[in-house]
Chain A
Amino acid sequence: MNNSKGILVIGELSEGKLVSITKEMLGIARKLADESQQDVSCLLANESVQQTPQEAIAFGADKVYTAEDPALKSGGIYVYLQIVEKLIADISPWAVIMGQTYLGTRLSPRLAAKLGVNLTTDCVDLKLDPDKKAIIATRPIYGGNVFAELSSDLIPHLVAVRSKAMSPIEQDSSRKGEVTSLKAEIDQSVIKTKIVKSVKEEVTGVKLEDAFVIVAGGRGIGGAEPFKTTLQDLANLFPSAATGASRPPADDGWVPEAKHIGLTGRIVAPDIYFAIGISGASQHMAGCTGSKTVVAINKDPEANIFKLANYGVVGKYEEVLPAFTEKLKSLLAE
């Protein structure tokens, strides 16, 4: 595949808009493409793509491929895989950038196995190698305690990038690009999975990924109730705050899974991260390393969290946190 050229971004959209990971993927794709004189193309496949092709061009795509079919929304990953495989066969890209997202984590390993090439998942940085023949992808391993720089000789290079790790370029609505509509030819006969029902577990309030302040609790919280009272009381002081949790509270059903922050849950990057009764296990910390300031409250002075936090109090959260919230409330009112 020596003629392989171009960087393909597997875009994601929701309710007629690009989701932020798509803009981030286009941003890094644009940078790599400019450094290696290549084009950026973007696939947008959903029930309906609406105005997102123009948006993708404004954020750096030269070409946009669209596929519209109701089955892309409801039919599961094998429908999506068929569209992607066909497009890759047609345009033979040099690299394919996907998101470390619900879509990307299901799509990328299957695609890598089908193409027989390398895939690097959960990348926090992408750069060209000095001779511009490969992508060097950086990813955390061992729960973020070690970083690996990885590459491959096989083309196309497949990478899945972590949310909020890359920067979008500035939106420029005057950018020109080409939009091609693909025929969604889906062979249903090979699909052996069927989604019977999709259940949404509503989480009210600010989404974790959008919150500037996160008040997260761990095993040390001891039950479901304090998440709704003691922790929520602190979150209520801020206009854009949410409560979250490490894995044990989610596994024990104290909070919905959607509140789980960590390597296998949500990846967040708020301005302030309150870690309450959280030991600081690397599985959890890998999900909030992007936080600007970490504040820890834990009764165990030896807890690993105090090696990672910027500010801390050693003590029972039941006593420390209400007093903290009360004092902060009066200070903020001044």
Chain B
Amino acid sequence: MSGLNMIVCFKQVPDPEAPASALKVEGKEVITSPDIKPVADEYGEFALEVALKIKGSIGGKITALSLGNNLARDVVKKSLAVGADELILLEDEAFEGSDNHATSHALAAAIRKIGEYDLIFCGRQSSDWGVGQVGLSLATQLGIPAVSVVRKVDIVEGKARVEEVTPDGYNIIDVELPALFTITSEAGALRYAALKGIMAAARRQPTIWKAADLGLDPSEIGTQGRVNKINKLYQPSSEVKCEIVEADTPAEAGAGLAEKLREARIL
């Protein structure tokens, strides 16, 4: 089997390495300070790497797919720079405020519009809301089988053979195509883009689909399409005061720490 059609869904998120102080709750929104750069969610990047490996071994076409509004071009075009063949953005003001229900609904509509596909890859969960639902919800809506938290995908005799990470090891699972997999970190980091790829990606424009292009009613997407109501957001008070044990040498500090913990009856 060759020439598989693959779709990789990925999300733009605020840099997860940003310190807590860079996040602020304003009403029912989390605002990140302007110096925090958006990045492609790393689980989506792991998913793209899995697709690239398959393309490298048996060939195929990769369509990268993302949803949002005002997506940063350098973030989304990275997919093209590393080897995705096409980039489709569901970009519309109407998508703002989507929860995972509205997001998976819109992604399902886009994937139906794309039409032909053998494999869909998503990240296992994102670093911002970390809900971990979109992939499985999408597969359920499309009526295709899915395996979540996958670290390896091989194509064997027209089927996918995948490794699913379990709490005490892993399962090897055979799955009929078309299928969807959500990818975990053990799959390995996304390759670096070669300069040639970056230059080529810079010249290309993503395909933009608006909600109306997908035949979606405003009531199904964005804030209106939410089934998950935000009652309140708040930041936990972080008033931990760390007692630093100091000494002339690291070894003495280590011994001092033992005494301190013993005195405090912690150990």
Q: Which chain A residues have a beta carbon within 8 Å of chain B's beta carbons?
A: 76, 78, 101-102, 105-106, 108-110, 112-114, 117-122, 129, 136, 140-154, 191-201, 203, 247, 250-251, 257-258, 263-264, 272, 281-283, 293-297, 304, 306-316, 319-328, 331-332
Q: Is the CB of A320 within 8 A of B140?
A: no
Interface residue from A152, A272, A310, A323 paired with B267 (Cβ < 8 Å): A272
Could you list some 17 contacts between A and B, CB below 8 A? A112-B101, A113-B141, A117-B227, A142-B128, A149-B233, A192-B145, A193-B174, A193-B176, A201-B169, A272-B267, A294-B240, A295-B261, A309-B240, A311-B260, A311-B261, A319-B249, A320-B257
Interface residue from B124, B149, B161 paired with A196 (Cβ < 8 Å): B161
| Residues of chain B lying within 8 A (CB to CB) of residue A200 | 168-169
Interface residue from A195, A201, A322 paired with B254 (Cβ < 8 Å): A322
| A294→B238 CA distance, assembly (Å) | 13
Chain B interface helix/strand/loop/mixed: mixed
Of the four ranges (under 10, 10 to 19, 20 to 34, 35 or more), the interface on chain B belongs to 35 or more
| Residues of chain A lying within 8 A (CB to CB) of residue B240 | 294, 307-310
User: What 15 additional pairs, Cβ within 8 angstroms, besides A146-B233, A201-B168?
Assistant: A78-B145, A118-B99, A141-B130, A141-B233, A142-B30, A145-B236, A146-B30, A198-B171, A258-B169, A293-B266, A295-B257, A308-B238, A311-B260, A313-B256, A324-B254
| A114→B242 CA distance, assembly (Å) | 48
| Residues of chain A lying within 8 A (CB to CB) of residue B266 | 272, 293, 311
| Residues of chain A lying within 8 A (CB to CB) of residue B242 | 296, 306-312
| A78→B146 CA distance, assembly (Å) | 10
| Residues of chain B lying within 8 A (CB to CB) of residue A121 | 131-133
Q: Is the CB of B259 within 8 A of A304?
A: no
Q: Is the CB of B186 within 8 A of A148?
A: no
Q: Is the CB of A198 within 8 A of B236?
A: no
Q: Is the CB of B128 within 8 A of A313?
A: no
| A323→B256 CA distance, assembly (Å) | 9
- B42 smallest CB distance to A (angstroms): 9
Q: Is the CB of B231 within 8 A of A122?
A: no
| Residues of chain A lying within 8 A (CB to CB) of residue B249 | 319
Q: Is the CB of B130 within 8 A of A257?
A: no
| Residues of chain A lying within 8 A (CB to CB) of residue B124 | 264
Q: Is the CB of A320 within 8 A of B167?
A: no
Q: A109-B137, A121-B131, A152-B227 are in contact. Are A258 and B167 (CB under 8 A)?
A: yes
- B140 smallest CB distance to A (angstroms): 4
The answer to the question of B47 belonging to the interface, with a C-beta cut-off of 8 Å to chain A, is: no
Q: Which of B146, B184, B259 has the largest number of chain A CB atoms within 10 A?
A: B146
Q: A193-B147, A310-B240, A311-B257 are in contact. Are A328 and B130 (CB under 8 A)?
A: no
Minimal Cβ-Cβ distance residue in B for A101: B167
Q: Is the CB of A146 within 8 A of B23?
A: yes
Q: Which one, B13-21, B48-56, B82-90, is touching chain A?
A: B13-21
Interface residue from B131, B133, B184, B258 paired with A264 (Cβ < 8 Å): B184
Interface residue from A152, A326, A331 paired with B229 (Cβ < 8 Å): A152
| Residues of chain A lying within 8 A (CB to CB) of residue B73 | none
Q: Is the CB of A251 within 8 A of B140?
A: no
Q: Is the CB of B145 within 8 A of A147?
A: no
Q: Is the CB of A118 within 8 A of B227?
A: yes
Q: Is the CB of B234 within 8 A of A109?
A: no
The answer to the question of B8 belonging to the interface, with a C-beta cut-off of 8 Å to chain A, is: no
Closest 3 CB pairs of A and B: A315-B250, A323-B254, A113-B140
The answer to the question of B193 belonging to the interface, with a C-beta cut-off of 8 Å to chain A, is: no
Q: Is the CB of A326 within 8 A of B255?
A: yes
Q: Which of B168, B234, B246, B252 has the largest number of chain A CB atoms within 10 A?
A: B168
The answer to the question of B66 belonging to the interface, with a C-beta cut-off of 8 Å to chain A, is: no
Minimal Cβ-Cβ distance residue in A for B260: A311
Q: Is the CB of B250 within 8 A of A247?
A: no
Q: Is the CB of A312 within 8 A of B244?
A: yes
